[in-house]
A and B are shown apart, each in its own frame.
Chain A
Amino acid sequence: MEVILIVLKFSKSLCAMLIVPALCFGTGVSAAAALKTTPVSQEAVAWEGIKSPLLRAAQFELLMRRPVAAITRLLADQSQGYFARHPAQARLVLGGIYLAYGAHYKAESIFQGLTIAEQPQGLRDMARYQLARLQFQRGQPDEALDSLGRIDGELPAKMQQERMLLSSLLFLQDDQFDEAEDNLRSMEHQAQRDDSDATSTWAAYGRFNLGVTLFRQGREQEGRKLLEAVGKMPADNSEIRALRDKANLTLAFSYLGLNEPDAAQKYFAKTRLEGPLSNKALLGLGRAYAARGEYKKALTPWMQLTKRDASDPSVQDGLLAVPFAFGKLEALKQSLGYYQSALNVYQQEMKQVHTAEAAVNNRALLDSLVRGVSSEALKQRWFLADLSDVPGARYLWPLFSTHEFQETLKNYTRIYRSRDTLTHWSARLGSGDIDPQLRRSLQDRIDALEKKLSTTQQRLGTHLTQLALMELNRRKQRLVSYAAEVRFSMAQIYDYAAKRWGGE
């Protein structure tokens, strides 16, 4: 069994952390797809050395989470020639703000224009770094490595750390393990030199990734040593606690794969029972007991697991594992009873999935999502927080956490709101003392833009609907398979009983 668990960290402030769980339950996304979702924060601009107060006024707006105001301000000042003395620096800042806003293509064209030899080296390097991040996000690892390779000097401290982590992830993706290892070790040394909390959190991510890298290289002992160190780290923040869980879970599943259930059990037990990975840990702990033939003990974590939210795939696995254990204990009546319960739960879940499907088809889901996204939340990367009122939302959580869904929904919501803004501008044009020709020209642009926004919004809505329906379809298929397994196992039990006791 292959164990891959990659954690990617780019911005502490945004808890920007991604996991690629390719454990043994087959529900994880591919590493390449997940790695594309590198978060970008307002830290997209390296502000060190930027002195112009007008540029720093844009920074202020960005720090206050008002990227549109920052961009509008910069564009307006730029068009009035305020940055004539340092146009390239202004463009770099503008590119960074576009990036923070999520306008990747616009940012890319600005950064591309700044990588030419005529630009000062420091500025060129920063533009290349930003390009590399964008290329990484878009799943263009070769281009990203090329951009990173063209950086000639040292970047500002924070960017330099991100650059090293990005390089190591790209090397890791490209199976260049030694290079990845070199980068991660450098990060670790840097953390020791700096002795700062932020750097040590970075180093913890680095150490974790290095551990996984070594594992994949077949250097299990070294990998395990690093993961063990991460799993034992003193945790004074939620990021480190989550990372510690991931390290312990990775180790546990690796030992389970090696058929060493004692060691696996030790690491499963170290994973928190209430954290985001706790369902996987409970399922795994039961498996560790079962591997030793201790089915009675296995029932404890598995029974605990089945009391949790049945929309979670680990819980659904647990619903099958419980009657399996009873079967192994020759308690066939209980086994049959729990199979029947599992079947009921799967049928109930199927009904809920159908309800969610109806909500998606009649756009009720999309309407709820758009209503639920506040202006403040839209400025965050992970902006979907409370979805308790959204019908069927719990089945779509895995989808909601994907880069594709989040970005599409963000675009949909922004366009929806921009159309209101256009209406407002149109009203303003009608009320002021404006040159008639200019007014006509602006009104024509507003009309054309409204048409374009309306078409794009419709297409985005269709795309979101398709994504949701695909996810729900996966759910349905999974439940159908589970139900088939249950019926098959129940038939096996009846068959076994008939042979043994003559058809009782």
Chain B
Amino acid sequence: MKQVWTRLLLGGLCIAATAAAASTLEATFQQLDAEAEKALGEVLVLGAEMALLEESRTIPLNNRLEVLVSIEPSPFFRLEAVQLQVDGKTVSSYTYTLNELTALSSGGAHSLFRGELPAGRHQLVAVLLGRFPEDAEFKREVAFILVSGSGPRVMELRVESGDEKTPPGFFVKEWK
């Protein structure tokens, strides 16, 4: 009887999977994974083309403007919202969620505006709203002139960290 007990306890009761079947399935998996990825990749490429088509229908390339917001992380300043005005008219206003602030603090840039700026000279004003220890309703503006019509323009609005006493800087930079 001792033998039985020992067998019961230590037997392990291992059920071996059929190695050949597993190996065939593994090969099928690799093949299917590649096949699915290829098909999904084609969906992504087609999606990008559809997005471009949509954009080209609504925004002529020469008049295209994209304005992006980025921040330098700071323990003293909390960004709340950014507004963009073109010739005195607000074209975009965005209030950031906590998740979005985390993404910005990790180095991401938010596309505040991507659209058409009719050919010609325009005045743009970006308004930054946030909280700073010495000013709970901190507000800064940066104004700049853009001449549109000669190709797509990419502008970055950058919030640079200050410290407890120095308010953050708010700058604009064009990328070419």
Contacts and interface: CB of A to CB of B under 8 A. Distances in A.
B108 A56 contact: yes
B164 interface: no
B45 interface: yes
Contact of B5 (A59, A324, A422, A452): A324
A53 B14 contact: no
Contacts, number: 189
Interface stretch (A70-78, A178-186, A207-215, A368-376): A70-78
B43 A421 contact: yes
A485 B154 contact: no
B4 A64 contact: no
Q: How large is the interface on B (under 10, 10 to 19, 20 to 34, 35 or more residues)?
A: 35 or more
A446 B154 contact: no
B116 to A, nearest CB: 15
B9 A463 contact: no
Given A53-B175, A59-B109, A63-B108, A105 B38 contact: yes
Given A456-B35, A463-B25, A463-B29, A59 B175 contact: no
Nearest to A320: B8
A245 B55 CA distance: 55
B20 interface: no
A53 B15 contact: no
A415 B36 contact: yes
Main secondary structure, interface of B, reads helix
B5 A327 contact: yes
A466 B51 CA distance: 38
Given A82-B154, A324-B5, A453 B39 contact: yes
Contacts of B37: 102-106, 411
Contacts of B110: 57, 60
Interface stretch (B75-83, B95-103, B139-147): B95-103
A377 B106 CA distance: 22
B86 to A, nearest CB: 19
A287 interface: yes
Contacts of A474: 15, 17
**Which residue, B15, B25, B36, B41, has most C-beta atoms of chain A within 10 A?**
B36
Given A75-B44, A446-B46, A408 B33 contact: yes
Interface stretch (A349-357, A379-387, A427-435): A427-435
Given A64-B99, A106-B37, A57 B111 contact: yes
Contact of B14 (A26, A411, A492): A26
A62 B29 CA distance: 27
Interface stretch (A225-233, A247-255, A270-278, A476-484): A476-484
B119 interface: no
B166 to A, nearest CB: 24
B107 A449 contact: no
A496 interface: yes
Contact of B34 (A60, A105, A290): A105
Given A63-B102, A80-B152, A442-B49, A449 B43 contact: yes
A418 interface: yes
**Which residue, A50, A62, A287, A411, has most C-beta atoms of chain B within 10 A?**
A411
Interface string A148-174: 000000000000000000000000000
**Which residue, A68, A72, A290, A489, has most C-beta atoms of chain B within 10 A?**
A72
B52 to A, nearest CB: 5
Interface in B81-128: 99-100, 102-104, 106-111
**Which residue, B22, B39, B55, has most C-beta atoms of chain A within 10 A?**
B39
B50 interface: yes
Contact of B32 (A72, A328, A418, A460): A460
A26 B13 CA distance: 7
Contacts of A238: none
B13 A481 contact: yes
A434 B58 CA distance: 12
A485 B43 contact: no
A406 B32 CA distance: 13
Interface in A397-439: 404, 407-408, 411-412, 414-415, 418, 421-422, 425, 428, 432-434, 438
B97 to A, nearest CB: 10
A198 interface: no
Contact of B39 (A327, A446, A456): A456
A85 to B, nearest CB: 8
B109 A76 contact: no
Contact of A317 (B13, B28, B36, B108): B13
A76 B61 CA distance: 13
Closest 5 CB pairs of A and B: A60-B108, A26-B14, A63-B103, A75-B48, A411-B36
17 contacts: A24-B10, A25-B12, A57-B110, A60-B103, A60-B109, A71-B44, A75-B45, A79-B52, A80-B152, A434-B57, A442-B50, A459-B35, A470-B22, A477-B15, A478-B13, A478-B15, A485-B11
Interface of A: 24-27, 47, 50, 52-54, 56-57, 59-64, 68, 71-72, 75-76, 79-80, 82, 85, 102-106, 138, 287, 290, 317, 320-321, 324, 327-328, 404, 407-408, 411-412, 414-415, 418, 421-422, 425, 428, 432-434, 438, 442, 445-446, 449, 452-453, 456, 459-460, 463, 466-467, 470, 474, 477-478, 481-482, 485, 488-489, 492, 496
Given A52-B175, A53-B154, 10 more contacts: A60-B110, A64-B108, A80-B152, A407-B29, A414-B40, A428-B54, A456-B39, A459-B32, A459-B35, A485-B11
